[in-house]
A and B are shown apart, each in its own frame.
Chain A
Amino acid sequence: MSVKIKVENLNAWYGRNQVLKDINLEIEANKVTAIIGPSGCGKSTFIRCLNRLHEVVPGARVRGHVWVDGQDLYAPGVDPTEVRHRIGMVFQKPNPFPTMSIFENVAVGVRIHGLKPGVKLEEIVERSLRMAALWEEVSDRLYTSGVSLSGGQQQRLCIARALAVEPEVLLLDEPCASLDPISTLKIEDLLVELKKNYTIVIVTHNMQQAARVSDYTAFLLDGELVEYGPTPEIFTRPRDKRTEDYITGRFG
């Protein structure tokens, strides 16, 4: 057991609208942590604070601390591009780069950060696509456009793209929201596989998904962390009435 990310008194705003209120929680290394809660409760905002992507929205603001391996991401002088290099992200809607080939979609991050000496770009691309369980399906058409793939394949391409720059943490914001059930299962299997090497935080709208893939679950409501603990406990013995109402489908 080791803590990978420690969130301390995290607050976030869009303009004057405060959407996260004093969040405190610790995320375990090499586990899958699910963030659940009704629409608009701040799930996306929360994980976007973990890779300093929240601040790219005009007028958005953050106060608080996010410690990753003991380093505060919000300390003065920390380079947000370096943070995003260490902490990868996959978005709700697959967003491959449409003018790039499948190969180039995966390679582009490596090109930005530079290739380590003695490593071949082709190897990184192949390894990333294999980790994303996509290699078998695309190995014979690496140089066709990334948008020619199906939605589920595009999302796995985005996972491969994130993995190619060798992050330590992988954030996923409802990665299956626009996918069919079979693609969803593929991605869930993949997450269980990936947690051997990565710390994973996944936002999901889908309670069954949280129960299936996650080790820990955090329940957010109106920007506040209502309850956080091991997934089996949250789902079988919630301590808070609001958590119980939510997971039994009484609201949201």
Chain B
Amino acid sequence: MNKGRDTFFLQITRLAALSIVFIIIVMAHELFRGSELAFSRFGLGFLTGSEWDPVHGKFGSWPLIYGTLVSSLVALALAVPLSLGVAIFLAELAPPWLREPLSFLVELLAAIPSVVYGLWGLFVLVPWLRDVVQPLLGKTLGFLPLFQGPPLGVGMLAAGMVLAIMILPIITAVSREVLLAVPQSQREAMLALGATRWETIRRAVLPYGRSGIIGAIILGLGRALGETMAVTMVIGNRPQVSASLFDLGQTIASVIANEFSEGFDELHLSALIASALLLFIITFSVNIIARLLVWKVSISQGVSRD
């Protein structure tokens, strides 16, 4: 009787596990099948073509790939220093009574729906960028191609900043875990040499957690690459390749969200599915790299933990 029930549950859970694999295979299959038309029409030009023009049936996804990568890199450039600062404070420096409430606040940021970030970006961040930040950047750093052009507010910079706030929680939370897992014996070894607290963090704690922190950053990158709603609301939705962060742009995720309901000509649809496949491949590889790094760290800590 008992044994029969056990086998029953075993079968059920096994089925559940298998269904995950099944879903992934079906999805990948559908993406490949759906993108066939676009790839057979444009070949490699689908990746390198710089014109995405549904009206004239031209589909080169380079501006989308570019927009996806650049907005995510801007997000990383802003979020990584901030997240690491918060993580170091939480794990190493904050007084115990402050740790829990602060960690909770950071995790709360992760719970805010992305459309809310989008609204906030549109109504708070964009005007501020347009009226204050971009004029200032233009005046001081305007000699760099990055900061040239009229201050529009919306655009690549706005997208990068909204993304930065959205990936802050994951990078902070994972880095904090990594830092907390650094054995106390490593800190004491450095302190015993006469190092200050900051030197101990810089020379013992951070190097020890290095690959875990890289994993955290890549997890954040994975999240930024695939984010759709908030980016669509602030990036300007113009598929173009421009060196300036003040310019409008477009990402793969937001082009799909924007254009899926537009017309239904077969080639357009196939091009959208093909860009979905690209995004799938990019985020999938980024996540695998991140998992491997975090996994490597937890393994090595398993042996040498004190």
Residues of B160-186 at the interface with A, using a CB-CB cut-off of 8 Å, are 183, 185-186
Q: Please give, as numbers and ranges, the residues of chain A lying within 8 Å of B192 by CB-CB distance.
A: 51, 53, 84, 88-89, 91, 162
Closest residue on chain B to residue A110 by CB atoms: B193
Closest residue on chain B to residue A164 by CB atoms: B193
**Max chain B Cβ within 10 angstroms of own Cβ: one of A58, A93, A109, A161:** A109
In contact, A56 and B191 (Cβ under 8 angstroms): yes
Number of interface residues of A (CB under 8 A): 29
A159 CB, nearest partner CB in chain B, Å: 12
Number of interface residues of B (CB under 8 A): 23
Q: Please give, as numbers and ranges, the residues of chain B lying within 8 Å of A147 by CB-CB distance.
A: 304
Q: A100 near B: Cβ within 8 Å? A: yes
Q: B96 near A: Cβ within 8 Å? A: yes
B306's partner among A83, A89, A93 (CB-CB below 8 A) is A93
Please measure, in the bound complex, the distance between the C-alpha atom of A100 and the C-alpha atom of B193, giving whole angstroms.
15
A217 CB, nearest partner CB in chain B, Å: 24
Main secondary structure of the interface of B (DSSP, over half): helix
Q: Please give, as numbers and ranges, the residues of chain B lying within 8 Å of A56 by CB-CB distance.
A: 187-188, 191
Given A99-B210, A108-B203, A113:B194 Cβ within 8 A: yes
Please measure, in the bound complex, the distance between the C-alpha atom of A96 and the C-alpha atom of B207, giving whole angstroms.
13
How many pairs, one residue from A and one from B, have CB atoms within 8 Å of each other in the complex? 72
Closest residue on chain A to residue B193 by CB atoms: A109
In contact, A162 and B193 (Cβ under 8 angstroms): yes
Given A85-B194, A112-B194, A95:B208 Cβ within 8 A: no
Closest residue on chain A to residue B194 by CB atoms: A85
Residues of A153-203 at the interface with B, using a CB-CB cut-off of 8 Å, are 158, 161-162, 165
Please measure, in the bound complex, the distance between the C-alpha atom of A91 and the C-alpha atom of B192, giving whole angstroms.
10
Closest residue on chain B to residue A96 by CB atoms: B189
A91's partner among B189, B204, B207, B210 (CB-CB below 8 A) is B189
A208 CB, nearest partner CB in chain B, Å: 27
| Residues in chain A within 8 A of chain B (CB atoms) | 51, 53, 56, 58, 81-86, 88-89, 91, 93, 95-100, 108-109, 112-113, 147, 158, 161-162, 165
| Residues in chain B within 8 A of chain A (CB atoms) | 96, 183, 185-196, 199, 203-204, 207-208, 210, 300, 304, 306
